[in-house]
Chains A and B, each alone.
Chain A
Amino acid sequence: MSNRQTIDARNTFCPGPMMELIAALKQSEIGDEVEVLSSDKGSANDIPAWTKKVGHQVVSAEEHADHWAIVVKKMK
């Protein structure tokens, strides 16, 4: 069974949404999903690009009024 965990990294400045995602992926099993909530535009752009580059999968990326919600699936 795959799991999904959510990291609410809105308005967190250090280590920030992407570092949180990287750390969360490390503790996940292949097939698990991590949802990151981010109010930082830079990471909202970087996360999907990075995810594809390292070979994980962007399940969804939604823009809300004051934040982005990005779901990444661990593939390797």
Chain B
Amino acid sequence: MGTRILILGSGLGGTIVANGLARRMPAELRAGDVTITVLGATPKHMYQPGLLYVPFGRAREQELFREERTILDRRINFQVDPAAQIDVDNNRVTGKSGKVYEYDYLVIATGSRLAPESIPGLKEGAHQFYDLEGARKLRDALQAFNGGKIVVNVNAPHKCPVAPVEMTLMLDEHLRSRGLTDKFEITYTYPIGRLHSLEPVAQWAVPEFDRRRIKTQTFFNTASVDPEQKTITSEEGDTLPYDLLITIPPHRGAQVIEDSGLGKMGWVPTNPKTLKREGSDNVFVIGDTTSIPISKAGSTAHFEADTVIENITLLVQEGRWSRDYDGKVFCFIETGMNSGTYVWFNYHTPPKPTPPTQMVHWFKLAYNRMYWLSACGLL
């Protein structure tokens, strides 16, 4: 029997790993020395960064989705059978269907999920745009909005660290372009003492927010929301009134991680360099679900996937290790409807600021289109 590689999750990380492994091991796949199986929760793959444009009516919903089967290399066995139990001691995973999948190497890429219910009143009182249903509802709410107080509320931990800043700036521009200047007031809240965890982004955001008269409230960790009174209160003791509340809810990892006892809140303890699950030698973890203290972002999942592809390939082919992950993260940032910037860093290099330009905005739009190529393993 050949080497069985099992990948959990058919989101960004899982798809890149599966395609990358298939492309590097054509001979082994042909000979049956290697098999690659992906377990997904849905037949469709969603381009999550596109959700940012949905509330403003700037994305067609159809553009956000592709059939996962058409993105995956045809030599990969793709099953829509979400993992229900992961048994790392016995190298096997049980799917929701009851089917058992045994593996020699496991890659966990089950991402993160929204947990608004962990804060009283948040689910009932707030809009969000981190899934399609939420983004649609926010689109309707924005259409009906004719003025008043908006609170953009950020909670930790959350994926795509820059989306809340992007949302705030795009929202301001959107409402102004609808002729509502002077009729609305945006307050942006953030858990720590600056506007963004990335220092250059935080510094850059201050004059941008001032210029647009966007108010800010730092050290704001949401304790509760009162949907009747329309107020949001922080652990620090501040209360803000709102007419429209947009939240980035706190996240957790996938339920199956907690159910399998692999990590509190669904975050899997992971070695930051080898990307192996702590305590396992044949279980790799990538993307949002790792416990590594770096950004939960598509680019993180992508760079981690590249490392895992090289390591599993070399382990299968030559029995040796290729290279460690260097902590690289890269983010494009939309700074309005027509300008953008970017930032990158790794375990050794701190992020440096770069002034926003229209050029970078076009790069990001181009990147939005190129996403499918990178998921296919072609970029």
Contacts and interface: CB of A to CB of B under 8 A. Distances in A.
Interface of A: 7-9, 11-20, 22-23, 26-27, 42-43, 46, 50, 53-55
A14 B197 CA distance: 6
Of A15, A42, A55, the most chain B CB neighbours within 10 A belong to A15
A47 to B, nearest CB: 9
Interface string B214-244: 0000010100000000000001110000000
A14 B294 contact: yes
The majority secondary structure among interface residues of chain B is loop
Contacts of B265: 26-27
Interface of B: 118, 156-157, 161, 191-194, 197-199, 219, 221, 235-237, 250, 264-265, 267, 293-295, 327, 329, 345, 347-348, 350-351
18 contacts: A9-B293, A13-B197, A14-B161, A14-B198, A15-B156, A15-B157, A15-B294, A19-B157, A19-B191, A22-B156, A22-B192, A26-B118, A27-B264, A27-B267, A43-B192, A50-B193, A50-B236, A54-B236
A16 B118 CA distance: 22
Contacts of A43: 192
A11 B235 contact: no
Given A46-B192, A50-B193, A14 B347 contact: no
A20 B267 CA distance: 12
A15 B118 CA distance: 20
Contacts of A17: 293
Contacts of A22: 156, 191-192, 221
